[in-house]
Structure 1
């Protein structure tokens, strides 16, 4: 396949990730194909490019945000992501955050990886514990074979064993959340030296507790082991505030949920979705949604489905 065609397929399926060809390379021995696991996109990425990169420009160009579950089928992949450097061998996997820079190095040899695309806000909000981004799950992990069989058999058209039954997409996401959960408290290992690190940690806590009523400024200060005033200063130095950070991410979670309403046999009402996410004042929710997305929630649903619950 010509490099330009391979790159175009990568963009159309995975967003603005950029394949970097080797010097004078015009042909790619491999291809990028799209598959489905229920409503979730699955990408099959095979090739012998030098690497795939995700930079700040690519992040800004993509409207949708995802957590990608990557697992290596063949070859070796060197991944730099979320301040981690890992090497993926066949049957090993990791989570990749589309809002963060990444480099996937094919190590000068052909490789084949699979990527399951999970809506970022939905995935993080549903996780009961902080999930490990950029750290690999080894092939020997108890959940590894089960997760990979589900994707290989029911998304990629692999041979289905008689004892393997298809999980729902929600069940598959739950398995991945469990496999990558850090069930230990993170605070004992948390010693940020600057407010930039504290801000990233605060955002991580917000995103993993987004739908919980306990998510308040005092709760966040307690989890970060600093005072309420210090938390406010952390957000001020990032030109943000706790209230704005929570509100924008809750609106994003609502938007992700509304995108899937049309495919549900018994779709939830918009007001129910808003309440579940954490909005208690529907007028404030409707006003904030229109400010962030330029249209009302009902108009947003209309753009993504033919059914508009009240």
Structure 2
């Protein structure tokens, strides 16, 4: 992790205004039925470059033709995933970013960042577009992905970590900036080779299938009749293909479906405690898509190390 910044609660409008001022015009899609988000946008200069810290629990952020018409897009964004995960899409290249991964985005073209309502935080290094084109010409393009294990991403992270340590050292900042551009140039030449281009495209379909699968489960997980076979059938893919797609984020479609149901159960159980007696645990289990209360209790204990009736900090066991 390069740096830790605190998050706070702010309105969607406040976040969108800050994002527009620091990064340009974007279209915000918040979580359903909410006016507030957990997030923060912080702006600073490091190594003679603008850096934005962006944290949020939105569904997605998009830059469409409408937003492109509002500003010209003066930067490339080198985005480093710090917390959570994000699906980033540009030029038909969709990649899942896990902590430590990086992606280069061109603000002059449409792009989409999906977070599925979960908390995600990135560091965005703003690389002036004109300077990028002068240095690298047509090699500079958006959608280039660097996994955290890549030697270039490791080196960039090390330089940025140094830059955070010497924020006020102006002479050293100049050399750090040149080092960053040097590494980006090396990465661009490598990624524009024929073999690298094939490697980048190989994961596009899997990432796009993952996005569709997550979206379908998010929409239907409360249905107790929903099965992974049904999800695969709806998406017109084999279960094996669906499993490979979810492996990108180190899970399975079955575990993702279970997680969504347990998340909803936690929300309802917390509301139950706040509101007094509320619904019985069995009712909550059925409302969250579980067909069997004993299985719900078993899965809940496994995930949270306590019974549903004691979550969060409850004292009375339900008499089911």
Give the shorter-chain TM-score range.
0.5 to 0.7
2:257: which partner in 1? Answer: none
How many angstroms apart in 1 are the aligned matches of 2:95 and 2:37? 25
SS for the counterpart of 1:25 is coil
> Which stretches in structure 2 are left out of the alignment for 5+ residues?
1-9, 199-320
SS for the counterpart of 1:16 is coil
Matches within 5 A, 1:17-96: 17-96=26-105
Aligned length: 185
**More helix by percentage:** 2
1:299: which partner in 2? Answer: none
Aligned-residue offset at 1:149 = 2.8
The answer to whether the Cα contact below 8 Å between 2:48 and 2:174 also exists between their aligned partners in 1 is no
Spell out, residue by residue over 1:215-268, the C-alpha distance to the aligned partner (whole angstroms, 9 max, x if none): xxxxxxxxxxxxxxxxxxxxxxxxxxxxxxxxxxxxxxxxxxxxxxxxxxxxxx
Aligned-residue offset at 1:165 = 9.3
How many angstroms apart in 2 are the aligned matches of 1:12 and 1:63? 13
How many angstroms apart in 2 are the aligned matches of 1:157 and 1:28? 32
1:216: which partner in 2? Answer: none
Spell out, residue by residue over 1:185-226, the C-alpha distance to the aligned partner (whole angstroms, 9 max, x if none): 559x89xxxxxxxxxxxxxxxxxxxxxxxxxxxxxxxxxxxx
Spell out, residue by residue over 1:2-42, the C-alpha distance to the aligned partner (whole angstroms, 9 max, x if none): 21111111111001122211121111111011011133110
1:114 to 76, 100, 123: 123
The 3 A distance-change label for structure 1 pair 105 and 170 is same
1:308: which partner in 2? Answer: none
Instruction: Name which of structure 1's ranges 90-99 and 174-183 shifts more when overlaid on structure 2.
Output: 174-183
SS for the counterpart of 2:146 is coil
> Which stretches in structure 1 are left out of the alignment for 5+ residues?
159-163, 191-310
Aligned-residue offset at 1:108 = 2.6
1:135: which partner in 2? Answer: 144
**What root-mean-square deviation, in Å, do the aligned CA atoms of Structure 1 and Structure 2 show?**
2.9
How many angstroms apart in 1 are the aligned matches of 2:138 and 2:101? 22
